[in-house]
A and B are shown apart, each in its own frame.
Chain A
Amino acid sequence: MFGLDKKDTSLLIIVACLTLFAPFILNPFPTGSAMAQFNAGYPDLMQRFVIFGIFAIGFNILFGLTGYLSFGHAAFLGAGSYSAVWMFKLIGMNVIPAIVLSVIVAGLFALLIGFISLRRSGIYFSILTLAFAQMSFNLAYSVLTPVTNGETGLQLTLEDPRILGVSATADGSIPVTNLFGLEMRSTFELAVGPWAFQFNAGYYLCALIMLAAFYLAIRIFRSPFGMMLRAVKSNQQRMNYTGLNTRPYTLAAFVISGMYAGLAGGLMASMDPLAGAERMQWTASGEVVLMTILGGAGTLIGPVLGAGFIKYFENIFSKINDNVLHTWFSFLPDGMEDAVVFIIHPFIGKGWHLTLGILFMLVVIFLPGGLVEGGQRIKGWLRGRKAKDSNASGETNPAE
């Protein structure tokens, strides 16, 4: 189907089902129950899942296929956000022109940075992209204040022209982002017994765009172009010796992944029309690297998994506090309960980044293929046990 083979089609269908039914899947616990805090089925979080999914898919096209580790991808996300907000300010509140412009701007920006950075490879490439991103971040904070509004961040105001829309709604407030009249923030609530499922227009727009982006990524992975990028990763020198100039290919990959980042930035601004310079900071670039590696770089589903995993646990872990822990471990004897809570305390709430850091290190050390490799190993292990075969076929030795 759609020019994909059977395996990829089923993967696409699985991802499609997961995203489209996410309001159900992420909301397994009835509202008001003790477990309700593990629900992730509210619009804001679901939007972040798919938007960061797009960002990570894009990053993976560059890092997973070519092996070029960019530490400056957040710059494209930021550029996309800024251009989307400018579209809202100048043209109108429809998201389509905003998203289109953010992709184009990010693409051009990526073309410029990629053209220069890709002259070097390895660590030098990482540092160059890092330097460019930090440069954009610093500029956005200082000189470019007329465009970016500096530290405050770019916001909509009542004085914006909005040629195709209105500067202010009838009741004097700032209009909201919409898709031909369908407001992005409009949410349909479906109450089934004790459950309350929320269907958000903005989420479904992001989800559909992510599916399109995912489909495109599959096609890129399976195309001769994708094969060429993989060849660059495995041995660039050999490619050069066969008389092939690899730079157009890597540059194309860089621009494509920059456009994905711009798309993510545009969507982020469409859901919440704000853009700040901190989206361009290098820690933001680091985050997408974490997502991709955690999920599994170079695999199709990995980045999406990684983005969902990090955003979900960021949200859940930071909500848990000592009181919640005490209710969980109340079955233990008093002293034990306090001890357990004391031990877990640094890792939850504000300490979530510590958990993330440790998790990330463990993944890089023991599971270079990320969650996907972990899943494959478990699968291989289960199969190996079923067949009573001590040499599980899916087993790969951890790289030293």
Chain B
Amino acid sequence: MDAILLQILNGLDKGSAYALIALGLTLIFGTLGVVNFAHGALFMIGAFCAVTLQRILNLSFELVDESQKDFLGNPLKVKTPYVEAWFGPDIGGSIIDWAVPLAILFAIPIMIGVGYVMERGLIKHFYKRPHADQILVTFGLAIVLQEVVKYFYGANPIQTPAPDALNGVVNLGAAIGMDIVYPVWRVVYFFFAVLIIGGIFSFLQFTTFGMVVRAGMADRETVGLLGINIDRRFTIMFGIAAAVAGLAGVMYTPINSPNYHMGMDFLVLSFVVVVVGGMGSLPGAVLAGFLLGVLESFASMNEIKSLIPGIDQIIIYVVAIIILLTRPRGLMGRKGVMED
């Protein structure tokens, strides 16, 4: 029982990353009708926003401290981050410690900006081109973004730890009399993902802006005829989708040290998630993300692996193939989306 609950937790945790990326992909696809192969790169850029903020906060100056000696007897050089010098060691230290959560605030404007520039500068010109061209150009863009990041940050994974307070483990089963020890940060990640997903849905559901966007997704032409500049709103949605991917990346950094090709690794999976959920269906993407995450972690249980060896490696693809062949529109796909 413990093992099963633990796998469900693992699955929800993995699934929340899939769901966030797939949600962004679906937002772009549902609004603009563009298949964005560069979405994994946006996830990666988000993760490197966290790395950058951490580096900025750690910028420091050196002072020669005469009162302390190093082992050779020379005066010790003490490095002090500017932040600590400005705010005092206590507050400054905790600011540095909380770099990853702070990076959320740092990443949102950057990601919205990146998304805006990408949409206006490149993707706008590809609305009328075939889907194959959209895939190809965004694939090229993904390579470029990846290489640029590699140029500035190197090819090795960069450690970005979570704040000390959130770095330990917590016993989640204490309340129900079971023993389920789980890393705190992963729990935080799950709730963060739920929060973001809830935020996006309520934004689309309860604001006028969201209503217009939903109307545009259903029938772009009619909304345009009503005198609403739907392109502008869709561009903003692209920025928001980029921000969602970026935030997923920021929060993911303590779980897995970011490297330049982390986006590509996630991209393939998140496309599979989108297709399983149904192209253009937001609830479908979220549902499929969590579903596949849970399935994947169950498949990696030893009991199941001994029954079907290797199932943990391929379960997602097997599920995707079965779903595509039996329910061509995915779990919650709408009629008439991408059926040409």
List residues of chain A with CB under 8 Å of any chain B CB.
67, 69, 116, 119-120, 122-124, 126-128, 130-132, 134-135, 138-139, 141-144, 282-283, 286, 289, 293, 346, 351, 353-354, 356-358, 360-361, 364-365, 368, 399-400
Contacts and interface: CB of A to CB of B under 8 A. Distances in A.
Contacts of B271: 127, 130
A127 B275 CA distance: 8
B320 A354 contact: no
A123 B279 contact: yes
B125 A119 contact: no
B203 interface: no
Interface of B: 35, 122, 125, 128-129, 131-133, 135-137, 139-144, 146-148, 151, 264, 268, 271-272, 275, 279, 309-310, 313-314, 316-318, 320-321, 324-325, 328, 338, 340
Contacts of A141: 313
Contacts, number: 108
A400 B128 CA distance: 7
Given A122-B340, A139-B310, A364-B133, A128 B321 contact: yes
B129 A122 contact: no
Nearest to B312: A142
B310 A143 contact: yes
A354 B151 contact: yes
A134 B268 contact: yes
A353 B144 CA distance: 8
21 contacts: A123-B275, A123-B338, A127-B272, A128-B324, A130-B268, A131-B320, A132-B321, A138-B313, A139-B310, A143-B310, A293-B136, A353-B146, A354-B143, A354-B147, A357-B140, A357-B144, A360-B143, A361-B137, A361-B140, A364-B137, A364-B140
Given A130-B268, A358-B144, A361-B141, A69 B132 contact: yes
Closest 8 CB pairs of A and B: A143-B310, A357-B143, A354-B147, A138-B313, A361-B140, A357-B144, A131-B317, A360-B140
Contacts of B272: 127, 130-131
A356 B338 contact: no
Nearest to A127: B275
Given A67-B132, A143-B309, A361-B140, 13 more contacts: A69-B132, A122-B340, A124-B324, A124-B338, A130-B271, A138-B314, A138-B317, A353-B147, A354-B147, A364-B137, A365-B122, A368-B129, A400-B129
Contact of A135 (B125, B279, B314): B314
Contacts of A130: 268, 271-272
Q: Could you tell me the dominant secondary structure of chain B's interface residues?
A: helix
Contacts of A139: 310, 313-314
Contacts of A400: 125, 128-129
A368 B321 contact: no
A70 B135 CA distance: 11
Contacts of A123: 35, 131, 135, 275, 279, 338
A253 B314 CA distance: 27
A134 B132 contact: no
Chain A at the B interface: mostly helix, strand, loop or mixed? helix
A283 B261 CA distance: 11
Given A124-B338, A283-B264, A354-B144, A346 B151 contact: yes
Nearest to B309: A143
B322 to A, nearest CB: 10
A351 B144 CA distance: 10
A361 B324 CA distance: 30
A400 B136 CA distance: 15
B153 to A, nearest CB: 13
A361 B144 contact: yes
A358 B147 CA distance: 10
Contacts of B338: 122-124
Contact of A351 (B132, B139, B151): B151
A116 B122 CA distance: 34
Nearest to A365: B137
Contacts of B324: 120, 124, 127-128
Contacts of A353: 143, 146-147
Contacts of A360: 136, 139-140, 143
Interface centre among A131, A353, A356, A357 (most CB of B within 10 A): A131
A132 B264 CA distance: 17
B321 A116 contact: yes
Given A139-B310, A351-B151, A289 B328 contact: no
Nearest to A71: B135
Contacts of A346: 151
A128 B279 CA distance: 14
A293 B146 CA distance: 20
Nearest to B269: A134
- Which of B131, B140, B264, B325 has the most chain A CB atoms closer than 10 A to its own CB? B140
Contacts of B268: 130, 134, 282
Contacts of A143: 309-310, 313
Contacts of B340: 122
Contacts of B314: 135, 138-139
B317 A132 contact: yes
Contacts of B147: 351, 353-354, 357
A135 B125 CA distance: 34
Contacts of B135: 69, 123, 126
Nearest to A353: B147
A357 B148 CA distance: 10
Contacts of A365: 122, 125, 137
B136 A289 contact: yes
A108 B140 CA distance: 32
Contacts of A124: 275, 324, 328, 338
Contacts of B313: 135, 138-139, 141-143
B122 to A, nearest CB: 8
A120 B324 CA distance: 8
A138 B268 CA distance: 13
A158 to B, nearest CB: 30
A293 to B, nearest CB: 6
A79 to B, nearest CB: 16
